Structure 1
Amino acid sequence: MSTTAQANATLKREAWGRLRKLPSGRWQVRYPGPDGKTYTARTDDDKPLTFVTKTDARTWLASLQTRMARGLWEPPEVTAARLRAEVAAETARSMGFEEYSQRWLKMIRDEPNRQGKQRAVGTIRSYKGKVIGYLIPEFGDTPLREINVERIKKMTDRLDRIPAPLNPKSKFNGITRPVLVVLMMILRQAAREGLISSVPDISVPKQKSVRHDADHDSGDDVATPVQVEALYAAVPDKWAIAILLAAWCQLRRGECLGLQRRDIEWRDDGGATLHVRRQLNANTGGYTTLKTEAGQRSLSIPRLMLVRLRQHLDTYVASEPNAPVLPTDAKGSVPLSNTRWGYLWM
């Protein structure tokens, strides 16, 4: 008997579908699909499926015909893709907090925010500090779906017991709220991705002062001219101009430290204009743009400080346009750091 004849002899037409005995002795099934195509039996993960006996093959073929009659059939590759997606979704729903938080950090670093802008390096570093310093030690590999109101409440209670760095007697330490804000950002993103059904019903407390008690008078925060002069006299000469820039030009610390010689424009009328263009970032240690476009501004420098400002520039600031107004060393090219400035107040 020829090879073709032998193959035909092993290919048996059923009432519906075909059975074929393979050289291995196992049975193969082929059947017509509702879409008009002919399919070979495959497993749910889209691999070839054969049967030990002819009876097994016929039983499988009968069950398949029943599924088709009920409208439950789909092409093998579609079934495999659906099952893979379901497994991936279940794996994601079981993802531990540490794994997901690292993925979240990468997302906020690489993708723009809702306004279409990339997040500042300092912002990302701040979020990372909260995640690594507080959230991962708290939750570790806990599945996201197990982080509920009770777990979060236990975390906030522990954080609340950390003394405030600036005022150990204060009821508010300035730690709990920013950590909780970052946690809720992570959980909201997990909910948007369908990894958790909903975000725990947690109310983030309002920002509280860590420097003052509840009976503090906010008017005490405004320095009087006499106090400004006292501070000016107390700070080392090469950095004292920062006191006047903060008091009379209303510059923030990072804005003061980020000033360069080119930012001070002397006018023909004897006055001067200050251009605030950048800041020295406390997180990165380098120059960064200001957080908002409104932060970039030009203002007239009060005349009461012009003489001191000119003396400062002549004595301590290098002649290059990009020389820092507050250098670490006189005439130096390295700006005074946020950390070193902080030690002046200790």
Structure 2
Amino acid sequence: MARRHGYSVRELKSGRWQVLLRDPETGRYFGAGSYADPKQAEVEGQRAAAEQAGGTWLDPRRGEVSLSDYMAGWLAARKATGQHGDRYASEAARMARLHVLPTLGPRLLVELRPPVIRAWYDALVARRVAAAGTPGLVPAKSYRLLSAVLNTAAHDELIRANPCTIPGAGVERSDERPLVEPDRIGDMVEALPERWQAMALTAAWCGLRFGELVGLQRRHVDLLHGTLSVERPVAEVEGRLVAKAPKSRAGRRKVTAPGPLVPVLEAHLARFGEPGPDGYVFVGPLGGMPRRSNWSTMWRKASAEAGLDGVTLHDLRHASGTMWAQLGATAREIQHRLGHGSPAAAHRYQHAAERRDRELADRLGALMDATSIAQPSRKKPQPGAGTGG
């Protein structure tokens, strides 16, 4: 084993080459990683020794904690400090348990290098494609969660840098959702039981989310001024329905209902709403709040009956945002109405409106082509013909 200034490199029985660094406090040497290529080991040793001399060295032993242990503490801290709401905390814990920790959990943080992360991600994508024919959203969400955890580890100086470096891996690429035309909204609503028709109409014309609709109480509905106040959406967390403040300030908002929707809500409250200011607006026949699972079963049956297979309640919210954009609303106005924390989603609705405008223009062009009046006359002018005189 040849010793250099501040480090040494030795060959292990496995054939790999180990870097040994000198601890500046004790003077003893300790293992700081092994490499298949002796030249790479030399480079890493030189880099570490130079960082020690320059005061920027990060002791790799700080990262000798398993991802499983570190991630458990990270998730608990985010939930305790309110950085993760109940619903996302439950979802993040589930993603970690099912998609991240089975492969990477036993690994030490210091062992999580870009090739390890890439192998895990590629295998996750391959499994999802084999199971469903498409990656779906799981790989992107799982990668984004892991990247956030390791970004904190880098800030805590447990690792040198975040090893999640795959371009675009955390970007969700959802399939294009169907755009529900305004005249089809009525078909969808009529296929629903009467008790739930006002809820679907409110999603379509006010753009509220499922949890926001379920959380509406009588005191949130101002029939005189035609407004709905979104204050305490309901989320399902580990089987329990929990009402709490929106996860962002943008989510807490007042939405103006279109005039024709107000009498619909008034009639609904008279027949189906719970009594009292804290009574819930949308409840089942026995007074229970709707759950996503029960709602989805009923909705799928109604959408099939209406000839709108695959359309979801959330698609009605998308329809609301798109119609708002088509009417000329600015990105900020769409952002406020739909309760988005950033204008990025609002821009998507504007782009959807532009695509719809292009489709309508193309249809108009086809109509023009089919009519003789669309084409200017190509007859040659007769000799001596003029415009006046």
Contact 1:172 / 1:208 at 8 angstroms: preserved in 2?
no
Alignment correspondent of 1:226: 183
Q: Which amino acid aligns with 1:192?
A: H
- Fraction of identical pairs, as percent: 23
Q: How does 1:1-346 map to 2 (within 5 A)?
A: 92-111=62-81, 118-163=83-128, 168-169=132-133, 171-200=134-163, 201-205=165-169, 207-212=171-176, 220-221=178-179, 223-267=180-224, 272-283=226-237, 285-329=241-285, 332=287, 334-346=288-300
User: 2:167 is aligned with what amino acid?
Assistant: S
Deviations 1:69-94 (A, max 9, x none): xxx9xxxxxxxxxxxxxxxx776422
Q: What CA distance in whole angstroms lies between the structure 1 residues aligned with 2:128 and 2:174?
A: 10
Give 4+ residue runs of structure 1 displaced > 4 Å after superposition.
89-92
Return the alpha-carbon distance in structure 2 between the equivalents of residues 341 and 232 of structure 1: 14
What SS class does the counterpart of residue 323 from structure 1 fall into? coil
- Mapped to 2, the partners of 1:92 and 1:328 lie a distance apart of 55
In the TM superposition, residue 289 of structure 1 has moved relative to its aligned partner by: 1.1
Preserved CA contact (<8 Å) 2:192 2:299: no
Cα distance between partner residues in 1 of 2:112 and 2:83? 29
Aligned to 1:62: none
Separation in 2 of the partners of 1:309 and 1:315?
Answer: 10
> What RMSD in Å do the two structures reach over aligned CA positions?
2.6
Q: Which has the higher helix share?
A: 2
Larger relative contact order (C-alpha < 8 A, sep ≥ 6)?
A: 2
Task: Tell me if the contact between 2:223 and 2:266 (Cα under 8 Å) persists in the aligned partners.
Answer: no
Q: Is the 8 A contact 1:263 1:275 kept in 2?
A: yes
Can you give the 5+ residue segments of structure 1 that lack an aligned partner in the other structure?
1-71, 73-88, 112-116, 213-217
Query: What is the TM-score with the length of structure 1 in the denominator?
Result: 0.63
8 Å contact 1:138–1:155 — kept in the other structure? yes
Which range moves more in the overlay, 177-186 or 198-207? Answer: 198-207
> Matched residue of 2:166: which SS?
coil
CA–CA separation in structure 1 for the residues paired with 2:263 and 2:102: 53
Hey, what's the Cα distance between the residues in 2 that align with 1:242 and 1:102? 39
Please tell me the residue identity of whatever aligns with 1:207: V
Q: Distance in 2 between matches of 1:328 and 1:96?
A: 47
How far off its partner does 1:152 sit?
1.3
Q: Write the letter of the residue equivalent to 1:307.
A: P
Q: Alignment partner of 1:278: what SS?
A: coil
Q: Which runs of 5+ in 2 are unaligned?
A: 1-25, 27-58, 301-389
* In structure 1, distance between residues paired with 2:83 and 2:171: 25
**Aligned residues, how many?**
240
Q: Write the distance in 2 (CA, Å) between the matches of 1:156 and 1:309.
A: 48
Q: Which residue of 2 aligns with 1:60?
A: none
Question: Cα gap change, 1:207/1:227 in structure 2, threshold over 3 Å: closer, same or farther?
Answer: farther
Per-residue CA deviation, residues 65-124 of structure 1 (Å, 9 max, x unaligned), is: xxxxxxx9xxxxxxxxxxxxxxxx77642211111111212222234xxxxx64322232
